Amino acid sequence: MTLFDGVIVVVFLIITFFIGIFFYKWVGEPDDFYLAGRQLTPFILAAVITATNVNLYSFVGQAGIAYKHGIAILWQTWTGNMALVFSGLFIIPIMRRLRIRTIPEFLEFRYDKGVRTLVGVLWVFRLAFWLGVVLYTAVVAAQAITGITSFTFWIVVFAFIAIVYTMLGGMWSVAFTDVVQFVFMLGGALIVLPLAMAAVGWMPGLIAQLPPDSLTLVRAEGTYNWKFILAIFLLGIEWASVDQGLLQRAFGAESTRSLAKGMVLAGIITTPFALLWNLPGLAAAVLFPGLENADQAIPTLLANMLPTGILGLVLCGLISSQLSTISGNLNGVATLFTNDIYESLKKRKASDREILFIARTMTLVIGILMVVFAYWVPKMGGAVEAYLTIIGIMDMPLFIVAIFYGLLWKRTTPAAAWAGYLAGALMGIYGKMVLGYDFNMTTFLSAGAALVVTPMVSLLTRPVAVEKIEIVWRARQISDEELASGHIYHIIPRTLKGRLAFASYLVGVVVFLSGVVLGHQGTPLASWVAVSGMVIYFLSALVRIYVE
Amino acid sequence: MYVDWITWSIWLLGLVILVVWIYVPYKEFKTLLAKHQNKKTSSEKPPTSSGKTT
């Protein structure tokens, strides 16, 4: 990296910092800090969701897997996008109508305060650990690309900027720095794609020089085969329905309708975007074969291919991807603590000023914890593997209890929620520790246990008062807020055009799943069918949210 | 001259998204900014003799 590239990066970091602290004055009450005053519009929301979800794992880690195993890893992002659309159309609108800030808060609405506090506490630690991993990844990548090898230097740069602007401006700062960072991320990827493809002789050159299976999207065999697509799709739906970092942005939407639009748009724009970072990973396999660590594929490509100045701009894109993820999740953890632990356990109602003070202090405390975890990650060996296992064990039972039974079966009781959640988590631990299952099997086991135990305990315990459940059930219908504002959103469309789009959406699901299952035969047709189904799915969802 | 339509189609789609996501959020930000400035101005106005802000 030259001095000129360095200057570009420093100027970018300074601009990001000042954009972030500009919004300090926009924070007057807790909802401003947590949810940007619930004023986010669909396009801003889509950029915010995308910037938070796309991080260095996408640019470096996923492109590294494409380098090693081929293009099939794209499904990790694509099925996540499909899940985002599903959740945005059917699940999160219900929660937005309840005007909640966190998923644990929803658990109190549906079950009781005990379930809310249990999940709130567990998730504060889970997200703080995730932040440590994200910060660590950012530092390692910055070291490799820039040649500045001081670990502490990069920790200070990333942590200081993200903590200060998130602490001051809360979600307003997170949202607008995310929009700017999204533009840089996309701009950087647009610079790299044609340069990488030209170097390998464009698409025909890439096809000719890669092993035949590298460009097959749905495969019969290998790590990223058709079963992987089904498993990751299921996990994607879980992620898009209960992930605090994601949902907090969605709850910041100006209306339920804007929320649905924002989530559908976010899912759609990330789909071609994923090609922009995975195709260079494949190009690196041709240009720099035999790298010991596949994660070095993109850093090697960038360092060898980009001219002075351009490298600086692309680096800004990579830094953006990580800063937006850190700041978004930092705000999420501060909200979880203040909303679900501090406010929930306090006997008297706290003033807005006090809540803001606690939320800001917690942003700082969690930021410090993130730095401690980041130093700890290299000493822990397989930290990312450990984190993925925690997701399988902790998140999947939560999805079953909160979303699957919580929204679909009135008879589910608070005791059953406790039992289902704990049974799922314990079976996950048993599968991982005793049976030695991998990440996918651990997830299926924890989900299965929660699926079986929750209804059994529900039938053995006293039903919850109907009035309590009705609050959640009524949220399926349009709210008074929607009627007053005129921004009405029907989860199941009412007009003929809307219903046709909905039917087409269902056709997309069936075609997509048929393509994936067809993958077990190893036919090239499977990839075409699955991708066609995905395209029908996205286009129908887009039409569905704009026709009504 | 050879044109790789697959690569350039993906690139063009990315460019369209980039342009839209610069233009629309900028417009939306201006609206939000105006709203916040109005809110700030009205809250800073001194109360009238009847005790109400104008």
Chain A: give the shortest CA distance to residue B18, in Å: 6
Highest-scoring range by mean pLDDT, A31-35, A523-527, A537-541? A537-541
Q: Kindly report, residue by residue over A16-41, the tens digit of the pLDDT.
A: 888 888 888 888 888 888 888 889 99
Nearest CA in chain B to A42: B25
Question: What confidence tier does A435 reach under pLDDT thresholds 50, 70, 90?
Answer: confident
Say if A34 falls within a structural domain: yes
pLDDT, residue A393, reads 79
Q: Has residue A534 been placed in a domain?
A: yes
pLDDT of A427: 92
Within-domain flag for A394: yes
Mean pLDDT of A455-459: 96
pLDDT tens string A200-258: 999 999 999 998 889 999 999 887 889 889 888 988 898 899 888 888 889 999 999 99
Domain for residue A482, yes or no?
no
Say if A466 falls within a structural domain: no
Task: Answer yes or no: do A92 and A153 share one domain.
Answer: yes
H/E segment holding residue A214: none
Domain shared by A448 and A538, yes or no:
no
Element containing residue A128 per DSSP (H, E): helix A113-146
Residues A510 and A445 in one domain: no
| Residue A169 shares a structural domain with residue A271 | yes
Last residue of a domain, one of A380, A401, A420: A380
CA distance A459 to chain B (A): 50
Shared domain check, A398 and A348: no
Q: Based on the domain organization, do A267 and A326 belong to the same domain?
A: yes
DSSP letter (8 states) at residue A340 = I
Q: Is A432 in the same domain as A538?
A: no
Between chains, do B17 and A269 touch, taking CB under 8 Å as contact?
A: yes
Same domain, A144 and A291: yes
* CATH code for the domain of A318: 1.20.1730.10
A225's tokens: 């085969």
The reply to whether A59 falls in a domain is: yes
What integer is the mean pLDDT of A445-458? 94
A353, A241: one domain? yes
Same domain, yes or no: A188 and A300: yes
Q: Do A194 and B2 touch (CB under 8 A)?
A: no
Of A460, A483, A506, the residue that ends a domain is A460
Q: In this structure, are A392 and A374 located in the same domain?
A: no
A215 to chain B nearest CA, in Å?
13
- Of A341, A361, A380, the residue that ends a domain is A380
Assigned domain for A271 exists: yes
Beta carbons of A194 and B7 less than 8 Å apart: yes
- The answer as to whether A159 is a domain residue is yes
> Residue A161 and residue A22: Cα distance in Å, rounded?
13
**Half-sphere exposure (CA, 13 Å, Cβ side) for A14?**
6
- pLDDT, tens digit (0-9, with 9 covering 90-100), for A151-204: 899 898 889 888 988 888 888 888 888 888 888 888 888 999 999 999 999 999
Q: Residues with Cβ < 8 Å from A177, sequence gap 6 or more? A: A16, A19, A20, A165, A323, A324, A327
**Per-residue pLDDT reduced to its tens digit, A286-345:** 999 988 878 788 888 888 888 888 888 888 887 887 888 888 888 888 888 888 888 877
pLDDT band of B54, cuts 50, 70, 90: very low
Range of the structural domain that residue A416 is part of: 381-460
Structural domains of chain A, count: 3
